Amino acid sequence: MQTLIENVNIINPFDEIQTNQNVLIEDDVIKEISSSKIKVDANVIDGEDNYLLPGFIDCHCHIFAKGFHKEENMANPLGLHFYNAVPHSLQTINAGVTTIRDCGSADLSFKLAQQKGLFTAPKAHLSITPLVMTGGHFDLFLPSGWDMEIIYPGFPKGRCDGIEEVLKKTREVKRAGADFIKVMASGGVLTTNTSPEFAQFNKKELKTIVKEASANDMKVSAHCHSLKGMNNCIDAGFSSIEHGTFIDKKTASKMAEKNVNLVPTLLVHQFLYKTGFPAWDNFAEEKTAKLKEIVKVHKENISVAYEQGVNILMGTDSGVIPHGHNLEELVHLTDIGMSADEAIAAGTVKAAEFLGFKDLGLVKENYVADLILVNSNPLDDVSVLSDNDNILRVIQDGIEVKQL
């Protein structure tokens, strides 16, 4: 199958804009890019002098999740957990995101369903479920005695303690189809009786997880707000830190030296701070108090990390907040000092490199045809990407999945 996109301006991060270009897609690959007329018998899309960019990669989301409200886990039938992914996926695609790195909730069924084309969805890089210590962030065993963690065949429970248990749990998560391992290495906002500034898991446990994951060529990622927790994870050999709220100059320099990536998810904290939690959420007051402390320092500290040369990737924590706002994160990245080119790269070519893809994240010949067509130049104002109405078309693996 061939598709020809005519009369577009191509934007790749750090390159000059290629004006008046024609792009030939064959099956799922960009076959040819030329300023001259391409004569083929193909489906033709008139780009109307708009801007063609690579499809974006959200490096931190939860495609099944709808706020992580524990009460809903108890009230709803399990099937809703899966059906939620259908509208969430469409919202994500419509925002210009063609690939996601799911940091907990989606199982192998989602990845297979996307590959089989059962519904329109971003391609997925999975962690299945995060590893969490007893009493840690996302240990959903409540003081009432109710365990609110969703569990079913093929989706292992994440709770584990000690070297033997974390070793076995890493293997269980890999067996369930994970592409990488996610570890809750500090407290968080959404779990009662935990606090973001405290580290979780000890160094021996963390090193055991990394050693086992590395034996299977898998990276390990840490949910971590805590400064001590970040240093523990860096020393243990983690590949990325998610959130990084309390990072300081010394730790940022250490991350840059050891090539540990940072996915700051700036959007989620700002969004929750503005919109709050549902009135019926029994833990809303506790969550809001923790969130207030995070919002105070997060942006400033991530600016320090950027200045120290930490490689920053785009991630949104969508699922904690409503899906479909993904590219608003780019505005927050420019707010910490990144250029529009750097912010776009954080969600395209840099993200693709981190996930191990050598032919994704650029509008380039022989690269995967994941593309978005935008009605304005985001290098002039990156916020145009945050309005989904400005994203005119989305092409994934050479197939048009959104058209306004």
Side-chain-side CA neighbours of residue 22 (13 Å): 16
Domain at 2-55+361-403, CATH class: mainly beta
Quick one: DSSP state of residue 327?
G
- Owner of token pair 């963690």: 149
Give yes or no for a contact between 245 and 294, defined as CB atoms under 8 angstroms apart.
yes
Q: Is 380 exposed, middle or buried (0-12, 13-18, 19+ CB in 10 A)?
A: exposed
- Exposed, middle or buried by CB within 10 Å (0-12, 13-18, 19+), for 194? buried
Spell out the domain ranges in the chain: 2-55+361-403, 56-355
Predicted TM-score (pTM) of this structure:
0.96
Q: What is the pLDDT of residue 362?
A: 98
> Which tokens sit at 72?
């809903």
CA 338, CA 153: separation in Å to the nearest integer?
43
The class that CATH gives domain 56-355 is alpha beta
Query: Quick one: DSSP state of residue 176?
Result: T
Q: How far is CA 338 from the centre of its chain?
A: 18
At residue 190, φ and ψ (nearest 5 deg) are -85, -10
For the chain, 404 residues long, the average pLDDT of each consecutive 10-residue run is 96 98 98 95 95 98 90 86 97 98 97 98 98 95 88 94 98 98 93 88 98 98 98 98 97 98 95 76 75 87 98 97 97 98 98 97 98 98 98 98 93
